[in-house]
Amino acid sequence: RSPPGSLLAAEAMRAAGLLLAWALLRPAGTQQCHLAGPGSVLRFTDTHTEIRVPALHRVASSLDPLYGLVRRCLDLIQQNPLPTELLRAALNDPGSVRTSQVVQYELGYVACAMVALLFTVAMPVAGMCFCYCRSRQRCGGRLRAHRRSLGCRRHCLLVCLSLTSLVILTSVICAFVTSQRVKGQMEPGLGAVPTTLRTLRQHIANVPQGVQMVVDQFEVPRQQIISDLGGLSRSVGFSIHAQLKAMTYAALVDLQDRAGDLQTSLHHLQILDKTARALASARAELEPALRERRRRVVALLDDPRCTSCASVLGRAQSLELGADYSKVPSVEKVLKALAGLPRSDFAEMIRQGNGTFNSIPELAVERMAQVIQDLRDEMARMTEKVQSIANSFPLPDYTRAVSEALVKAEDRSQPYLREVERFEQYRWIAGTVLCSIILLILACN
Ligand SMILES: *[C@@H]1O[C@H](CO)[C@@H](O)[C@H](O)[C@H]1NC(C)=O
C-alpha cells in the first residue's frame, strides 16, 4: 500500500504532465477551452419557462376569400406606403403632426368617406323631394285610363321592386352573418388581451432575476480559472524543466567530462613540476662532482708523457652536463592559477547543480505563489465587479416603466372590452332594425 502522500504527488505529476503536454501540443495561436468536466459548462436554467405568452393563430376559415377581397380593396384605396416618419413624430410629439399630412396619407379613405357621406345625405334628400312633389301632384305618374297594358306594367314594376328588396334583404342578412362570423373569430383574441398583458408583465418582472442568474453563472468560469491557477505555477515549472532538460543534461555531462579532464591535467602537471624540480636538484649535485672529474681528467691527459692524448684533450676539456633542466618550461604559473580551483570534487558540484535544475517545478511554485495569490484576489474582485455592474444596470427603471405601462394598458383595456360588448348589442339592434325596415318595405309593397 503506497502512502497517500506519494499517491497525491503522483496524481499531481500526472495532471501537470497532461497540462504540459496540452500546452506544448496545442497549435500556436488558438485558444481552446478544454472542458475538464460537466461542472465547467455554463448552465442557464430556464426559469419561469412555464410562463408562456399564448400565441393565438387565426384558423383558416371560409371567410378567408372575403378577407383577401377586403385587403385588395383597401390596398387599392390606400396606395401610400406606411409613413414611418409620420408615425414616429406622432408617437414622440402628437402636437407636431399637421392634419394636412394625415389627410394626404389617408387621401383614398377620405375620398371614400366623402362619397359615402354624400350618398347618405343625397339619397334621403332626393327621396324627400320626390315625396314632396308627389304629395303636391306635381310630378310622378298621373292617373291613366285602365287598360290591359297598364295592369301588365304594374305587375312588372311590382316584380322588379320585390326583386330589388329581396336583394337588399339578402345583402343585409349576408352582412349580418359575416359580421357574426368575424366576431366569432375575433372573440378569443379580445378575451386573451388581459391574459397576454398579465403574462408579459410577469415576464418583465422576471428579467432582473434572469440577470442575477447570469451573474451567478460567472461563478463557473471563476471556479475554472481558480482551479487552473492552482496547477499553473507547477505546469509552468514543468514546462521550463521539460524544455531545458535535454540541453541542461547534455551540458552537465559535458561539464563532468571537462572536469575529469581538468583533474587529470592538474595531476599530470603536478607530477611534471615535481619531476623537474627533482631533476634540477640532482643536476645541481652532479655539477661539482663532474667539474672535479673533468679537472682530474684534463690534468691526466695534459701530461707530456701521454702520447696521442692531445686529440682527446679537447673533448675532455669540453666535457659538460648535457641536460639543462632549467630550460624545461616552468609550470609553476599554471599550477598557481589552478590553485584557485576548489578542492571539493566536481562530481558533487554537478550533482548539486543537477538537483537544483530538477527542482525547478517546486521552485516555480514557490516563486509564483505571490503572483497566483494576486490573481486569485483579482478574481475575487472581478466577481464583485460583475455583481456591481449587474446592480448598477438600471434594469428596474426600465422594467418598472414597462410594467406600469402594461398595468395601465390592462386597466384601460377593461372598459374597452366592456365597450366592445355594448357595441355587440348595438350591432344586433342595428341588424334587426335594418332587416325589419326592409321587411316593412317588402310588406308595404
Ligand atoms: C541529472 O538528474 C537526472 C534526473 O535525476 C538524471 O537522469 C541525469 O542523469 C542527471 N545528470 C547528471 C549529469 O547527473
Whether 217 lines ligand 1, by a CB cut-off of 6 Å, is: no
Write the residue with the smallest CA distance to atom 3 of ligand 1. 354
- Measured from the Cα of 252, ligand 1's closest atom is 13
Whether 252 lines ligand 1, by a CB cut-off of 6 Å, is: yes
Condensed to tens digits (0 to 9), the pLDDT of residues 140-186 reads: 666 666 677 888 888 898 899 888 888 988 888 888 888 888 888 77
- Measured from the Cα of 256, ligand 1's closest atom is 13
pLDDT computed for residue 41 by the predictor: 61
- Measured from the Cα of 354, ligand 1's closest atom is 1
Q: Model confidence at 307, in pLDDT bands (50, 70, 90)?
A: confident
Condensed to tens digits (0 to 9), the pLDDT of residues 202-224 reads: 888 888 888 888 888 888 888 88
Percent of the chain surpassing pLDDT 70 = 84
pTM: 0.44
Write the residue with the smallest CA distance to atom 7 of ligand 1. 249
Does the structure show a pLDDT above 80 at 107?
A: yes
Does the structure show a pLDDT above 60 at 187?
A: yes
Whether 271 lines ligand 1, by a CB cut-off of 6 Å, is: no
Whether 395 lines ligand 1, by a CB cut-off of 6 Å, is: no
Condensed to tens digits (0 to 9), the pLDDT of residues 309-345 reads: 777 888 888 878 777 777 778 888 888 887 766 565 7
3-class secondary structure per residue, the chain: CCCHHHHHHHHHHHHHHHHHHHHHHCCCCCCCCCCCCHHHCCCCCCCCCCCCCCCCCCCCCCCHHHHHHHHHHHHHHCCCCCCHHHHHHHHHCHHHCCHHHHHHHCHHHHHHHHHHHHHHHHHHHHHHHHHHHHHCCCCCCCCCCCCHHHHHHHHHHHHHHHHHHHHHHHHHHHHHHHHHHHHHHHHHHHHHHHHHHHHHHHHHHHHHHHHHHHHHHCHHHHHHHHHHHHHHHHHHHHHHHHHHHHHHHHHHHHHHHHHHHHHHHHHHHHHHHHHHHHHHHHHHHHHHHHHHHHHHHHHHHCCCCCCCCHHHHHHHHCCCCCCCHHHCCCCHHHHHHHCCCCCCCHHHHHHHHHHHHHCHHHHHHHHHHHHHHHHHHHHHHHHHHHHHHHHHCCHHHHHHHHHHHHHHHHHHHHHHHHHHHHHHHHHHHHHHHHHHHHHHHHHHC
- Residue scoring higher pLDDT (105 or 275): 275
- Tell me how far the alpha carbon of residue 230 lies from the centroid of ligand 1, in angstroms: 28
Condensed to tens digits (0 to 9), the pLDDT of residues 406-443 reads: 888 888 888 888 888 888 889 889 888 888 887 887 77
Whether 249 lines ligand 1, by a CB cut-off of 6 Å, is: yes
Does the structure show a pLDDT above 70 at 20?
A: no
Write the residue with the smallest CA distance to atom 14 of ligand 1. 351
Write the residue with the smallest CA distance to atom 9 of ligand 1. 249
pLDDT computed for residue 3 by the predictor: 44
Whether 416 lines ligand 1, by a CB cut-off of 6 Å, is: no
- Tell me how far the alpha carbon of residue 353 lies from the centroid of ligand 1, in angstroms: 10
